[in-house]
Structure 1
């Protein structure tokens, strides 16, 4: 850019390179680039590093990135949640509790997750473990049947997606009640076979729900779009447009 085109790289260019490196699993190289940038890295760059640490389970770098993000934006709940996810994925529940304690001490509140799906011009909203919908019994019944089918094709609940140290049975139950799963179940029983499903979630979709969407898109021959806090996920034939990285 500089020698051939006389263009001085700005922070957006560095952010793109960091994102490419972490997607390729080159976390150390990405971190070295961040440390040696001629401009101060912003929240986006540190967020890319932290997100990659969750995917590649790099605890040491996750703590560095999370601490920096907290200093840059101490009131953003997502930074704490991402670090909690890294700890939870490794079974470090004591560290998860410490992160939660920091949030309470700093009066940072995690936004409650909710998912919406529009059918017939009506928007249906679901929260985790929601039982308020008039078709609640049908929704949970449909999900129970769907889980049986999913397990037959290799689905295993990703208990690292939870932020609580529960026993195995309680962990599965908590995972099964995520808002996007309820929205998905409702859409499956309320729409025409093989019609596309579009879900909007106010937070980042978790690993387990992401895997479920992939499998359901293959099992039910459905195209599923989930717009979460970060990006669009388009699920089709068992895979996602994000390539399993978000």
Structure 2
């Protein structure tokens, strides 16, 4: 019987309870809460170090107004990277392979950056739609193009995250299926494909971390442009 490779991206249900919701709230349960003690344990120290390094890297070239969003950006980074990495474990579900999930994250955050720009500096925000020195005949065309490029940003954020994770998981499943099929008939080929599968898994872990960083980085750039 042929198995549909895309069935791994369907939201699982257990006793009529969608496990999609459990996967969404799981990151809040795995991270330790901040401690009022002067010396924290190793897990909390490592978590604080990671958050500090990420905030320093992300906000190094940002304006002071963007720094006000540091808490939100840090939390979003940890949330997405947790969902991506949890999906690499066996018998788990990756919510960020769902386009609706990523669009639900991208659209409100992108809209907030646009509203911040129109509230703080409406003239400059509108000026982004028309580059300086544009010929008169090209003004209507460029305004339409820049408006479309502005509206397509949240779709680019959501589709980029979905496509990269979906392609990686699908490729891992295909190679794993081939390895299992070759195991009894061609052990040498099965050994080779298992090595490829291991390298691809490590690569997918790196992709899961990088895509979370890219999502938040692009969001911070949109925010900086409108601040």
Answer whether TM exceeds 0.5 for this pair: no
Larger strand fraction of residues: 1
Q: For this structure pair, what is the TM-score category when the shorter chain's length is used for normalisation?
A: under 0.3
| TM-score relative to the length of structure 1 | 0.24
Larger helix fraction of residues: 2
User: Which protein, 1 or 2, shows the higher relative CO under an 8 Å CA cutoff with sep ≥ 6?
Assistant: 2
| TM-score relative to the length of structure 2 | 0.26
